[in-house]
């Protein structure tokens, strides 16, 4: 295992919100989950998990109510389960590519509107915030190319929400790139979780310049 990032011990407190990308203990067979690995990567920091396996964007408001008052950084990975709800659209017949794109565009608009609301709620806390893209399925998975293309629509909404508000962005598509990074088609393995933890630690520690484009901060604040 690689050595933890070199960060100064301090009062930092990272809180993880969202779904099973962070709340992945049930899928790693007793190996360390994401929050455990994050604590190893940020010695001297507090790291709390309020993400809930299976949650959707609508659940983030409830999760925010559970964020400890001494939190210093918020990181959210959510939207994957919402995107799964649109999966039946991939089976819809369409007379042309243009019509198919129009159907997907409507789904993207609904998703984007809800993700904007989530991002606004996070930014309204006044804390540094990073959001995560929805990662691809394992490279060898069935229909991976189709799923990857479809997810680009939803990930575009996520990146726009982050950059337009000056939030950080952790692009999980560039973090989890191998079959071994996945415990199944949608949850990270302990190996993938370590990669995710290291990207989160880089955001929290301000180590952004050495890891683009996995971690990007700034953007166009309002």
Q: What is the pLDDT of residue 10?
A: 57
Distance in angstroms (rounded) separating the CA atoms of residues 134 and 155? 6
pLDDT higher than 60, residue 6: no
208 pLDDT exceeds 80? no
Lowest mean pLDDT among 59-63, 100-104, 192-196, 197-201: 100-104
Average pLDDT over residues 51-72: 96
Q: How do residues 117-129 score in pLDDT, each as one tens digit?
A: 999 999 999 999 9
Burial class (CB in 10 A: 0-12, 13-18, 19+), 50: buried
pLDDT surpasses 50 at 12:
yes
Q: What is the mean pLDDT of the chain?
A: 88
Cα gap 207→23, rounded to integer Å: 24
Taken in order 10, 16, 21, 23, is the CA torsion positive or negative?
positive
Q: Residue 16 pLDDT more than 70? A: yes
**Cα angle 147-38-174, degrees, rounded to a multiple of 5:** 30
Does pLDDT of 8 surpass 50?
Answer: no
Q: What is the structure's pLDDT at 213?
A: 41
- pTM value is 0.88
Q: Compute the CA torsion angle 143, 148, 154, 155 (nearest 10 deg).
A: 160
Concatenated DSSP letters of 99-141: HHHHHHHHHHHHHHHHHHHHHHHHHTT-S-EEEEPPPPPPTTS
pLDDT per residue as tens digits for the range 136-190: 999 998 888 988 988 999 999 999 999 999 999 999 999 999 999 999 999 999 9
Would you state the pLDDT for residue 56? Answer: 97
Confidence band of 216 (pLDDT split at 50, 70, 90): low
Question: 4-18, 31-45, 115-129, 184-198: lowest mean pLDDT where?
Answer: 4-18
pLDDT score recorded for residue 109? 95
Beta bridge partners of 129: 74
């Amino acid at each position: 295992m690689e050595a933890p990032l070199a960060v100064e011990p301090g009062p930092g407190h990272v809180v993880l919100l969202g779904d099973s990308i962070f709340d992945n203990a049930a899928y790693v067979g007793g190996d360390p989950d994401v929050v455990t690995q994050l604590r190893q990567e940020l010695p001297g920091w507090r790291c709390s998990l309020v993400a809930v396996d299976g949650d959707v964007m609508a659940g983030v408001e409830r999760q925010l109510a559970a964020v400890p008052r001494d939190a210093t950084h918020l990181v959210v990975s959510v939207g994957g389960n919402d995107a799964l709800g649109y999966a039946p659209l991939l089976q819809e017949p369409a007379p042309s590519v243009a019509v198919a794109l129009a159907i997907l565009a409507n789904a993207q608009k609904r998703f984007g509107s809800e993700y904007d609301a989530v991002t606004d709620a996070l930014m309204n806390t006044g804390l540094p915030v990073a959001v995560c893209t929805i990662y691809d399925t394992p490279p060898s998975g069935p229909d991976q190319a189709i799923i990857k293309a479809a997810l680009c629509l939803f990930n575009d909404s996520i990146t726009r929400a982050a950059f337009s508000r000056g939030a950080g962005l952790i692009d999980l598509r560039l973090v989890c790139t191998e079959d071994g990074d996945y415990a199944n088609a949608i949850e990270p393995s302990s190996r993938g979780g370590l990669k995710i933890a290291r990207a989160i630690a880089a955001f929290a520690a301000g180590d952004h310049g050495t890891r683009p484009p996995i971690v990007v901060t700034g953007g166009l604040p309002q």
